[in-house]
A = this chain, B = another copy of it.
Amino acid sequence: MTYEKNVVSGNTTMLILKLLEGQDMYGYQIIDEILKKSGNTFNLKTGTLYPIMHGLEKDGMVTSYDETAESGRARKYYRLTNKGKALLLKKESEWKLYVNAVNRLMSGGEVNAFG
């Protein structure tokens, strides 16, 4: 990551699921999209992404299928399942709670906007 690893930890799966909510994608494309859409902030490594994708597939959160691009390159596309959509909702809600709690702490305990 462009970031200290520790700042980032834990939300990568949520970001991946969110992208797949929009459309099916292959691994390299997910890395590119996350880099672009985050304003060059999240530079996910293949050593991080592929194991996550394999885990998501094993757990039934995504399914995969192979396709050959016009370029001739073989690509493995991932599609979000209903189970994966449910996990995304859960992770979104956890993320919101977490951000709110941090913001409360960072603004001295009152409810107000930090950032």
Contacts and interface: CB of A to CB of B under 8 A. Distances in A.
Given A10-B9, A94-B7, A15 B105 contact: yes
A92 interface: yes
A51 interface: no
The contact size tier of chain A is 35 or more
Nearest to A40: B101
A34 B95 CA distance: 18
Nearest to A21: B108
Interface string A88-109: 0001101111111110111011
B3 A94 contact: yes
**Closest 8 A/B residue pairs (Cβ):** A6-B10, A9-B9, A41-B101, A38-B101, A37-B109, A96-B115, A7-B10, A37-B105
Interface of A: 3-11, 14-15, 18-19, 22, 34, 36-39, 41-42, 91-92, 94-102, 104-106, 108-109, 115
